[in-house]
């Protein structure tokens, strides 16, 4: 390997991870805001958060959108972070099932992006642009022998696919403060849903919930990621 190649590879991977993170997180949060707006809460819309322009999300959550993703990549080789959109809590309490729809909109956006990446991969596999790798991980769902720009394209689609499966899985965990906990009022009566929403607003749940969710995620994500991969490759190949 020539001097500087490894550093250039790290830089390229970091740029691809960050681009995938920004696109995925922006759509996730814009989807929350869009669902709330369409269901009667204009809070996020009125402050410019219902947008695919990431700049309002940078301004609202600079630590979660800029600092933490970069630090997490430098320390671990992958990115984690967060963003948020404002909403009217009184609206949520008055309409717990509409609030649940708002909560579901973000993870569903990530599922849609993962499916989009999967379609691109499947087309690439069908046309011979991509091929199955010898072993699977987040950065190697497909690979290409074409080199050049196609290598970069395969790296990006790998990251985009795996990151959105991760965001979909993690956010659906039914543990406060994650989106999955906000979906539960779908399955409750209106009055029980209101009591539930009041209960999960306890600030002490945020730290405890994130700790529990992180531990649970280690058990949930690997088999679900593998399931998505086997759906992608069916009937070409199956991975274990």
Residue 124: its H or E element? helix 96-127
- Tell me the Cα Rg of the chain: 19
For position 10, what pLDDT does the model report? Answer: 84
- The pTM of this model reads 0.90
Task: State how far the alpha carbon of 64 is from the alpha carbons of 21, 47, 70, 94, 112, in Å.
Answer: 11, 19, 10, 30, 23
Predicted local distance difference test score (pLDDT) of residue 237: 64
What pLDDT is attached to residue 218?
A: 80
Whole-angstrom Cα distance, residue 58 to residue 65?
A: 6
According to the model, what pLDDT value does residue 122 have? 94
Residue 140's beta-bridge partner residues? 137
- For position 2, what pLDDT does the model report? 44
HEC string of 81-100? CCCCCCCCHHHHHHCHHHHH
Burial class (CB in 10 A: 0-12, 13-18, 19+), 69: buried
From 154, 47, 36, 26, select the one nearest 91 (Cα to Cα): 36
Q: CA 108 → CA 102, 134, 168, 171, 217, distances in Å?
A: 10, 31, 7, 10, 18
Per-residue pLDDT of the chain (240 residues), as tens digits, is 444 445 888 888 899 999 999 999 999 999 999 999 999 999 999 999 999 999 999 999 999 999 999 999 998 888 888 999 999 999 999 999 999 999 999 999 999 999 999 999 999 999 999 999 888 887 889 998 887 888 899 999 999 999 999 999 999 999 998 999 999 999 999 999 999 999 988 877 777 777 788 788 888 888 888 889 988 988 876 666
- What pLDDT score does 58 carry? 96
């Amino acid at each position: 390997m020539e001097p500087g190649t490894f550093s250039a590879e790290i830089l390229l991977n970091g740029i691809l991870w960050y681009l995938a993170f920004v696109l995925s997180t922006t759509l996730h949060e814009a989807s929350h805001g869009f669902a709330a707006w369409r269901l009667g809460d204009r809070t996020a819309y009125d402050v410019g958060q219902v947008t695919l322009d990431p700049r309002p999300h940078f301004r609202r959550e600079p630590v979660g959108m800029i600092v933490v993703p970069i630090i997490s990549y430098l320390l671990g080789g992958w990115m984690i972070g967060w963003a948020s959109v404002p909403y009217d809590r009184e609206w949520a309490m008055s309409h717990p099932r509409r609030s649940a729809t708002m909560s579901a909109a973000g993870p569903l956006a990530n599922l849609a992006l993962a499916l989009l990446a999967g379609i691109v991969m499947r087309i690439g596999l069908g046309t011979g642009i991509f091929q199955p790798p010898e072993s699977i991980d987040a950065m190697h769902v497909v690979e290409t022998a074409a080199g050049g720009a196609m290598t970069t394209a395969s790296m990006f689609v790998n990251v985009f696919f795996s990151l959105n499966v991760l965001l979909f899985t993690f956010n659906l965990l039914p543990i406060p403060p994650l989106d999955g906990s906000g979906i539960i009022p779908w399955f409750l009566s209106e009055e029980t849903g209101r009591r539930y929403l009041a209960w999960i607003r306890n600030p002490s749940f945020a730290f405890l919930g994130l700790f529990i969710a992180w531990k649970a995620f280690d058990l949930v994500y690997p088999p679900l990621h593998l399931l998505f991969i086997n759906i992608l490759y069916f009937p070409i190949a199956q991975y274990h």
